[in-house]
Amino acid sequence: MNKAKRLEILTRLRDDNPNPTTELNFSSPFELLIAVLLSAQATDVGVNKATAKLYPVANTPQAILDLGLDGLKSYIKTIGLFNTKAVNTMKTCQMLVDLHNGEVPEDREALEALPGVGRKTANVVLNTAFGWPTIAVDTHIFRVSNRTKFAMGKNVDLVEQKLLKVVPAEFKVDVHHWLILHGRYTCIARKPRCGSCIIEDLCDFKDKTE
Ligand code: SF4
């Protein structure tokens, strides 16, 4: 795909949604970090339901530690893989208290050192809580980038590198959300909704649907 097409795609996505953000509910970097940690292989809607009850009771590392492991589990047991996520959340909270004065560090290495936090989660937190121009590549972004030929790559790391290279600076902070939302609601996995896609004429996918 050439530069002009990419620019037009980004411009249309921006015109359609000038201030995109995550569908996870949060009111602090810590709430976002825990919500993203809980969202692996789960829906944002499911995570929001759980955190709507958890955060009014405990929305700091110390408050979650005070709940105890079983106390935390009682709030998140509707989320897939909740046992592992509860253990990782407790360990992460302990590290935040011990090493970062209970704050979420604005630092990639420190974030990725937290249990249950990988590159993708660190990218989301740096981008959405702190405004860094990072691009977290999840399953939706991976699919949309390859299908449209906007930024092709065999794995998520290669797609991330390609996106960082081809997306102009003015779009970098928001491109992560535009591509996720496009993949979640229009360029869906099973049968993309090409007929109602605002970038259909620019997309290079060979097997477009009606
Ligand atoms: S035209 Fe179809 S394949 Fe291309 S981005 Fe739109 S929905 Fe996805």
Question: 35 with 95, same domain?
Answer: yes
- Looking at the fold, whether 15 and 91 belong to one and the same domain comes out as no
Q: CATH number, domain at 96? A: 1.10.340.30
Flag whether 93 is marked binding: no
| Residue with CA closest to ligand 1 atom 4 | 203
pLDDT at 134 over 90: yes
Domain end: 110, 128, 146, which one? 128
Is 197 annotated as a binding-site member? yes
39 Cα–ligand 1 center, Å: 25
Q: Domains in the chain: how many in total?
A: 2
- pLDDT tens per residue across span 16-31: 999 998 999 999 999 9
Report the predicted TM-score, pTM, of the whole model to 2 decimal places.
0.91
Q: 103 and 140, same structural domain?
A: no
**C-alpha of residue 125 to centroid of ligand 1, in Å:** 28
Q: What would the pLDDT profile of 58-95 be if each residue is shown by its tens digit?
A: 999 999 999 999 999 999 999 999 999 999 999 999 99
Which of 128, 155, 183 represents a domain boundary (last residue)?
128
DSSP states of the chain:
--HHHHHHHHHHHHHH-SS---SS--SSHHHHHHHHHHTTTS-HHHHHHHHHHHHHH--SHHHHHHHHHHHHHHHHTTSTTHHHHHHHHHHHHHHHHHHHTTS--S-HHHHHTSTT--HHHHHHHHHHTT--------HHHHHHHHHHTSS--SSHHHHHHHHHHHS-HHHHHHHHHHHHHHHHHTS-SSS--GGG-TTTTT---SS---
Atom number in ligand 1 closest to CA 208: 2
